[in-house]
Amino acid sequence: MNNVFVYIETEGTQVAEVSQELLTKGRKLADQLGVELHAVVAGTGIKGKVEDQILPYGVDKLFAFDGEGLFPYTSAPHTDILVNLFKEEQPQICLMGATVIGRDLGPRVSSSLTSGLTADCTQLEIGDFDDVKTKKHYDNLLYQIRPAFGGNIVATIVNPDHRPQMATVRSGVMQKAIYEGKAKNEVVYPEVSKYVSPEAYVVKVLDHHVEAAKHNLKGSPIVVAGGYGMGSKEGFDMLFELAKVLHGEVGASRAAVDAGFCDNDRQIGQTGVTVHPKVYIACGISGQIQHIAGMQDSKIIISVNSDPDAPINKIADYVIVGTVEEVVPKLIKYYKQNSK
Amino acid sequence: MTKPLKIVVLAKQVPDTRNVGKDAMTPEGTVNRAALPAIFNPEDLNALEQALRLKEQHPGSTVGVLTMGPPRAGEIIRQGLFRGADTGWLLTDRLFAGADTLATSYALATAIKKIGEVDIVIGGRQAIDGDTAQVGPQVAQKLGLNQVTYAEEILKIENNIATIRRHIDGGVETVEVPLPCVITVNGSAAPCRPCNAKLVMKYKYAMCPLEVDVNSECGMRNAELSKTRPYLTLNQWSVADVDGDPNQCGLSGSPTKVKTVQNIVFQAKESKTLTATDADVEGLIKELLDEKIIG
């Protein structure tokens, strides 16, 4: 009762990274609250294949539902599993990835349980809340912190009276780490038919096609990102060259993606990928809040911009005032000359 | 054999948050809604297009636009009519105000029940003011219907089964879902057709009763013309009209509460400003290499 739950997403027998990131966050929240971290996974043929990808992140108890029709994911069976499991377990918090699956499942579950859900949180904390209207005081609520209004403001949301407090978080926002402490690591395999009604399997997946990611932008230590100031798709070619010599990856602002300069899977920002590289080179990026939200935790930020007053320069460690056409080839040239 | 479909499009009037200028934020850090133009939520337009295509493919079908908001959101219904929708409903009531996604879904679901015998409820994946993507699935749950989210194209509807291609993380999927169902449409779906000039002429003065200001020219025209053209009076529903439970609407029906709202302030760093000269660029590269920041 009252534990922290994380819904684990899988593709076949591969556990999604975002789920592991949430386990690490969930572990911290559980420690802070003095409760256990539980995980729930549902799939087909997962028994014996997913446990090792889940338990090391500090899981006290894993509920693994293995049965036909649970992969590929469809809404109703997974909803039934969570709703019925949560009725038994009464968790206080449930976290899931802000992925296509999490954003399909989370609202359905929250509506079934009449509990609050906050999408795309960027921070999760524990804290107190005083309701000014009812004068009631609440201890240890989950602060669900998220940008709103296109990233121009950040709101802290709480669910005072309804459980579980549900939140989704995008991939890359939290960081995963193998748990150093001692967790119970118990695994149970509940009987699926006790949780899912036969009518739940009504949606049929005729064709399911997933390609391996073409790049590792999220995990790359060096990111070269381009904005609208790159001017064209061809303009991005030099960023790919710079990224190649630096062994980094190319990212883009939303303005550049919207203009068709770059594929949208490389978009960095609140509505794209969140990155935490060692070095972030922003080329022709003005620095809208929604972009900065996805890269502000980079260790070193270098901004290349012809406008000395570009907003991104305020958070940069180095500002090179100049056009990208002039500066980027020089970065390539002098890196080649000076590196061994 | 195709059977006529009754389709309800969920649409929302939203502030255009995509291009927020400096005047859109007040000095106190709150949003100045007046500075942002109110638009038809972009993905709801993608949904409307899918609905209008189904109407063409299945003769006799009807498309209605359902929206919730203040009286001026009647504009969303007009925009739908201009593109080929047959009717619309505006849910408007002070009791709906302050709703989170769950209370919004409750209100929409009660209205859909009131509309009755709907085959397809279709809306955008998410609205650009909240970006939550929660209302579609929550409406589906409240109506006890199946849902297909992130749809890119409704490929066909046969024997009361819809075949839908949808976007998933890193790929695509094709699914079959029996009707009735709720579908949410992704922005990668086909864009919506433009307004049709004849329909604009026909519905230009269509208004919800609360929108009508007889002191304005439009309001005057509406008051005058709607006497002989009843289609110029758009449906407007309150909580009572849809037999809603006020406790499940608006602020009181919302499990989530906003604790605080803050303006985003980024920690400014002390930055080194360089020029584009060879010496400066080479100096930077050497510094980064020396400090093993790049390898």
| Residue in A with minimal Cα distance to B25 | A152
Q: What is the pLDDT of residues A109-120, one digit of tens each?
A: 999 999 999 999
ipTM confidence: 0.90
Task: Find residues 121-180 of chain A whose CB sits inside 8 Å of chain B.
Answer: 129, 131, 143-144, 147-162
- Interchain contact A326–B (C-beta under 8 A): yes
| A129, β-bridge pairs | A138
Beta-strand relationship, A204-210 and B6-10: unpaired
Of B126, B125, B93, the closest CA to residue B111 belongs to B93
Residue of A104, A152, A299 lying closest to B24 (CB–CB): A152
What percent of chain A is predicted at pLDDT more than 70?
100
| Band (B36; pLDDT cuts 50, 70, 90) | confident
What mean pLDDT is predicted for residues A143-157?
85
| A338: chain B residues, CB-CB within 8 Å | 282, 285-286, 289
B267 and A315: CB-CB below 8 Å? yes
What mean pLDDT is predicted for residues A230-239?
95
Residue of B137, B146, B281 lying closest to A107 (CB–CB): B137
Q: Tell me, what's the pLDDT at A148?
A: 80
Of A23-27, A240-244, A272-276, the poorest mean pLDDT is in: A272-276
Q: What is the pTM of this model?
A: 0.90
B271 and A160: CB-CB below 8 Å? no
**Residues B191, B96: Cα–Cα separation, whole Å:** 30
Residues 6+ apart with CB under 8 A from B106: B142, B244, B248, B249, B253
Of A104-118, B78-92, B253-267, B277-291, the poorest mean pLDDT is in: B253-267
Helix (H, G, I), strand (E, B) or coil at A78: helix
| Residue in A with minimal Cα distance to B136 | A107
* Res B17 pLDDT > 80: no
Q: What is the pLDDT of residues B146-176, one digit of tens each?
A: 999 999 999 999 999 999 999 999 899 999 9
Beta strands of chain A (E only): which ranges?
Answer: 4-8, 10-11, 14-15, 37-43, 61-66, 93-97, 117-121, 123-131, 136-148, 153-158, 165-169, 186-188, 204-210, 222-226, 249-252, 279-283, 300-305, 318-321
Which residue is associated with the tokens 């967790």? A183
| Band (B263; pLDDT cuts 50, 70, 90) | confident
Å between B61 CA and nearest CA of chain A: 24
* Res B117 pLDDT > 70: yes
Helix (H, G, I), strand (E, B) or coil at A254: helix
Q: What is the mean pLDDT of chain A?
A: 94
Q: What are phi and psi of B269, to 5 degrees?
A: -105, 160
**Residues A252, A61: Cα–Cα separation, whole Å:** 40
Q: Tell me, what's the pLDDT at A290?
A: 82
Q: What angle do CA B163, B165, B168 make, to 5 degrees?
A: 135
**Residues B105, A112: Cα–Cα separation, whole Å:** 12
What mean pLDDT is predicted for residues A130-148?
92
For residue A207, what are the CA distances in angstroms to A98, B124, B173, B270? 23, 23, 5, 53
Residue of A111, A157, A327 lying closest to B258 (CB–CB): A157
Contact A338, A246 (CB under 8 A): no
Q: Tell me, what's the pLDDT at B25?
A: 64
Residue of B29, B142, B278 lying closest to A111 (CB–CB): B142
B176 and A106: CB-CB below 8 Å? no
For residue A24, what are the CA distances in angstroms to A33, A318, B77, B194? 14, 33, 46, 48
Q: Which residue segments constitute the domains of chain A, with CATH numbers given? A: 4-202 (3.40.50.620), 222-338 (3.40.50.1220)
Q: Tell me, what's the pLDDT at A283?
A: 97
Sign of the dihedral through C-alpha B106, B108, B109, B113: positive
**Residues A44, A308: Cα–Cα separation, whole Å:** 55
| Band (A1; pLDDT cuts 50, 70, 90) | confident
Q: What is the pLDDT of residues B81-110, one digit of tens each?
A: 999 999 999 999 999 988 999 999 999 999
Q: What is the pLDDT of residues A167-180, one digit of tens each?
A: 999 998 999 999 99
Q: Tell me, what's the pLDDT at B268?
A: 74
* Res B22 pLDDT > 70: no
| Band (A31; pLDDT cuts 50, 70, 90) | very high
Contact B43, B14 (CB under 8 A): no
Best to test chain B binding among A18, A82, A105, A110 (most B CBs inside 10 Å): A110
Q: What is the mean pLDDT of chain B?
A: 92
Q: Tell me, what's the pLDDT at B28?
A: 57
* Res A258 pLDDT > 60: yes
* Res B292 pLDDT > 90: no
Contact A91, A5 (CB under 8 A): yes
Contact B10, B66 (CB under 8 A): yes
Q: Tell me, what's the pLDDT at B262?
A: 81
Of A214, A243, A245, A225, the closest CA to residue A296 belongs to A225
- Interchain contact A15–B (C-beta under 8 A): no
**Residues A147, A126: Cα–Cα separation, whole Å:** 18
| Band (A271; pLDDT cuts 50, 70, 90) | confident
Q: What is the pLDDT of residues A203-213, one digit of tens each?
A: 999 999 998 77
Q: Tell me, what's the pLDDT at A152?
A: 73
What percent of chain B is predicted at pLDDT more than 70?
93
What mean pLDDT is predicted for residues A302-331?
95
Which residue is associated with the tokens 């201009």? B82
| Band (A132; pLDDT cuts 50, 70, 90) | confident
| Band (B19; pLDDT cuts 50, 70, 90) | low
A152 and B171: CB-CB below 8 Å? no
Contact B163, B171 (CB under 8 A): no
| A204: chain B residues, CB-CB within 8 Å | 175-177
For residue B27, what are the CA distances in angstroms to A133, A147, A154, B30, B263? 27, 18, 15, 8, 9
| Residue in B with minimal Cα distance to A331 | B281
**Residues A105, A102: Cα–Cα separation, whole Å:** 5
Across A193-197, B21-25, B220-224, the highest mean pLDDT is recorded for A193-197
| Band (A147; pLDDT cuts 50, 70, 90) | confident
DSSP string, chain B: -----EEEEE--EEE--TT--GGGB-TTS-B-GGGS-EEE-HHHHHHHHHHHHHHHHSTT-EEEEEEESSGGGHHHHHHHHHHT--EEEEE--GGGTT--HHHHHHHHHHHHHHH---SEEEEES--TTT----HHHHHHHHHT-EEEEEEEEEEEEETTEEEEEEEETTEEEEEEEESSEEEEE-TTSPPPPPPPHHHHHHHTT-B-GGG--TTSHHHHHHHHHTTT-GGGB-EEE-TGGGT--GGGSTGGG-S-EEEEEEE--------EEEESSHHHHHHHHHHHHHTTS--
Q: How many CB pairs under 8 A join A and B?
A: 254
Residue of A203, A317, A338 lying closest to B289 (CB–CB): A338
Of A117-126, B58-67, B266-275, the poorest mean pLDDT is in: B266-275
Q: Tell me, what's the pLDDT at B29?
A: 55
| Band (A282; pLDDT cuts 50, 70, 90) | very high
Beta-strand relationship, A279-283 and A300-305: parallel
Q: What is the pLDDT of residues B203-254, one digit of tens each?
A: 999 999 999 988 888 899 999 999 999 999 999 999 999 999 999 999 899 9
| B172: chain A residues, CB-CB within 8 Å | 207, 209
Å between B190 CA and nearest CA of chain A: 16
* Res B196 pLDDT > 80: yes
Give the amino acid at A5: F
| Band (A165; pLDDT cuts 50, 70, 90) | very high
> Measured over all CA atoms, what is the biggest interatomic distance in chain A, rounded to whole angstroms?
68
Q: What is the CATH number of domain B6-253?
A: 3.40.50.620
| A131: chain B residues, CB-CB within 8 Å | 257
Helix (H, G, I), strand (E, B) or coil at A103: helix
Q: Tell me, what's the pLDDT at B293?
A: 85
Contact B93, B230 (CB under 8 A): no
